[in-house]
Amino acid sequence: MSASRLSELLLLPASSAANSDLKSERGVSCDGELPAPSEPHLVERATAAKKALGSRAMVLGHHYQRDEVIQFADITGDSFKLAQAAQANTSAEFIFFAGVHFMAESADILTSENQKVILPDLAAGCSMADMATAVQVDDCWNALEKFGVAGKTIPITYMNSSAAIKAFTGKNGGAVCTSSNAERAMNWAFSKGEKVLFLPDQHLGRNTAVLKLGLKLSDCVIWNPWKTNGGLSDSEIQNAKVILWRGHCSVHGRFSMQNIEDMRGRVPGVKILVHPECTHEVVSNADVVGSTEAIIRTIEASEVGSKWAIGTELNLVQRLANTFKDREILFLDKTVCYCSTMNRIDLPHLVWAMESLVEGRLVNQISVEKEVAKHARLALERMLALP
Ligand code: 13P
Ligand code: SF4
């Protein structure tokens, strides 16, 4: 996308967008020769490597991936659709995951033992997933046991969590959820227990509990892993219906009420469309809320000429703006806001990983330890089987 097109999307003067270095953050963790981003034959090389691998390999691409990468995806989707795709594919020997680490781990857990999952850059993590470590979650559960509430609490972990947290969830009778089925997962959890421990995204947890299940904000408390007993009193823990882990997405956390007010002031008739990882205030004041897949479907189904300000990662918003030129599609924030870890998967890394495999070298395999995978699979399968 040209600097002036990006500026249109952001409602910024062209010079301001042109000065930002959009491609400065690059992955580093390659044990081989990474092609330079300026290499003029990257597309041809990726095409040739993919052709050489044929049906032995499949590329799964999350909607936040760069255009240069997504063009090579066999299947694109939100976290839920990609988990389903990984489980459904039993034939591809190799799965290149164009997404982040927790998604590749889930694909590895859901595929058979002879299938291998490759993450083209191991530095593609997720800051939200890193906000809940296995030790912290065990400490939390021990405290809930001490307060006598663990037995009536069902853990629900957002897909954006490590395999270890998913395994904890599976072991303790819980399920994974994604942004497209969090409501069903929470309803399912309340059919099994009296309380929900929601990990690690406080915003998705709160938005689901309050805006979908009709609970009160005061039914939710926040567990701060850095404080004794999560910073909560005995009565707060006893009275809470939903215990929200103190985690969030730094990309979606940027969207604010001020953004919404500015946008509505400047663009009459604009509809605000946001991801449920945004804050409760933003989600409560948006016109439409949904997962990345739902955001795409909403724009696809919208009227020609309609105006949308979208609060989610910028690669996806740019792609929608370029695809639906007959609608006015804007980015809700005023400043450039990519997910830096999603962006680590770029064409040089994809080419490097695919060409290595063509040469017989398997690089950057994501392999979840067997015992962890067994329990995590349980939590993932409970999600895939949700009513
Ligand atoms: P989706 O499940 O909506 O694709 O979201 C994944 C994600 O990481 C959003 O930040
Ligand atoms: Fe994680 Fe946020 Fe990036 Fe999604 S957008 S992968 S939640 S940091």
| pLDDT 10s digits, 261-278 | 999 999 999 999 999 999
| Whether residues 138 and 239 fall in one domain | yes
Residue 93 lies in domain? 25-121+343-369
Residue 5 confidence (pLDDT): 61
CA distance 63 to 337: 15
Asked whether residue 95 falls in the same domain as residue 35, the answer is yes
292 and 355 belong to one structural domain = no
Token output for 77: 């989707």
By C-alpha distance, which of 365, 334, 338, 367 is closest to 69? 338
Residue 13: pLDDT band (50, 70, 90) is very low
Centre of ligand 1 to C-alpha 291, Å, is 6
pLDDT number for residue 7: 59
The reply to whether 151 and 188 lie within a common domain is yes
Q: Is 117 helix (H, G, I), strand (E, B) or coil?
A: strand
In the block, residue with structure tokens 């997720």? 126
The answer on 186 and 221 residing in a single domain is: yes
Instruction: Give the CATH number, domain containing residue 64.
Output: 3.40.50.10800
Domain co-membership, 266 together with 237: no
Residue 212 lies in a domain: yes
Measure the CA–CA gap between 142 and 256, rounded to whole angstroms: 36
Q: Assess if residue 338 is contained within a domain.
A: no
If asked whether residues 223 and 321 sit together in one domain, one would say no
Question: Is residue 382 a part of any domain in this protein?
Answer: no
In this structure, which amino acid lies at residue 174? G
Question: For the segment 313-361, what is each residue's pLDDT rounded down to a tens digit?
Answer: 999 999 999 999 999 999 999 887 899 999 999 999 999 999 999 999 9
H or E segment to which residue 292 belongs: helix 292-301
pTM of the model: 0.90
In a domain, 166, yes or no: yes
1: Cβ contacts below 8 Å, ≥ 6 apart: 9, 318, 322
Give the rounded distance of the alpha carbon of 127 from its chain centre. Answer: 10
Please tell me the distance between residue 131's alpha carbon and the centre of ligand 1 in angstroms. 16
Residues 56-79: what's their mean pLDDT?
Answer: 96
The ligand placed nearest to the CA atom of residue 297 is: 1
Banded pLDDT at 387 (limits 50, 70, 90): confident
Mean pLDDT of the chain: 92
To test the pocket of ligand 2, the residue of 127, 177, 179, 291 to mutate (highest count of ligand atoms within 8 Å of its CB) is 127
Please answer whether residues 308 and 302 qualify as being in contact, where contact means their C-beta atoms are separated by less than 8 angstroms: yes
Could you tell me if residue 12 is inside a domain?
Answer: no
Do 259 and 298 reside in the same domain of the chain? yes
Same domain assignment for residues 80 and 165: no
- Residues 270, 207, single domain; the answer is no
pLDDT tens digits along 88-128? 988 899 999 999 999 999 999 999 999 999 999 999 999 99
User: How many domains does the chain fold into?
Assistant: 3
Q: Residues with Cβ within 6 A of ligand 2?
A: 100, 126-128, 160, 249-251, 277, 313, 339, 341-342
| pLDDT of 12 higher than 50 | yes
Question: For residue 8, what pLDDT band results from cuts at 50, 70 and 90?
Answer: low
| pLDDT given for residue 4 in this prediction | 56
Give the side-chain half-sphere CA count within 13 A for 362: 13
Q: 68 and 168: one domain?
A: no
CA R_g for the chain? 21
CA 246 to centroid of ligand 2, rounded, Å: 15
Candidate from 65, 66, 126, 316 with most ligand 2 atoms within 8 A of CB, to mutate = 126
Instruction: Tell me the per-residue pLDDT of 141-197, one tens digit each, with 9 for 90 and over.
Output: 999 999 999 999 999 999 999 999 999 999 999 999 999 999 999 999 999 999 999
More confident residue, 10 or 269: 269
**Per-residue pLDDT at 33:** 80
Choose among 125, 190, 186: nearest CA to 160: 125
Q: Tell which of 231, 247, 263 closes a domain.
A: 247
Nearest CA to ligand 2 atom 3: 339
- Tell which of 247, 269, 292 closes a domain: 247
**Of all residues in the chain, what percent carry a pLDDT higher than 70?**
92
SS3 call for 99:
coil
Q: How far is CA 10 from CA 17, 118, 295, 328, in A?
A: 9, 34, 18, 12
Residue 291 and residue 263 share a domain:
yes
Those residues whose C-beta lies under 8 Å from the C-beta of residue 58, and which sit 6 or more positions away, are 74, 75, 89, 92, 94, 95, 96
Question: At a CB cut-off of 8 Å and minimum separation 6, what does 132 contact?
Answer: 157, 161, 162, 165, 199, 200, 225, 245, 247
247, 263, 297 — which closes off a domain?
A: 247
- Asked if residue 15 belongs to a domain, the reply is no
Distance CA 208, CA 57 (A): 37
Residue 8 belongs to some domain of the structure: no
Quick one: what percent of the chain has pLDDT higher than 90? 87
- For position 6, what pLDDT does the model report? 61
Q: How far apart are the first and last CA of the chain?
A: 41
Name the residue with higher pLDDT: 17 or 234. 234
238 residue type, one letter: Q
Which atom of ligand 2 is closest in space to residue 100's alpha carbon? Answer: 6
Q: Assess if residue 14 is contained within a domain.
A: no
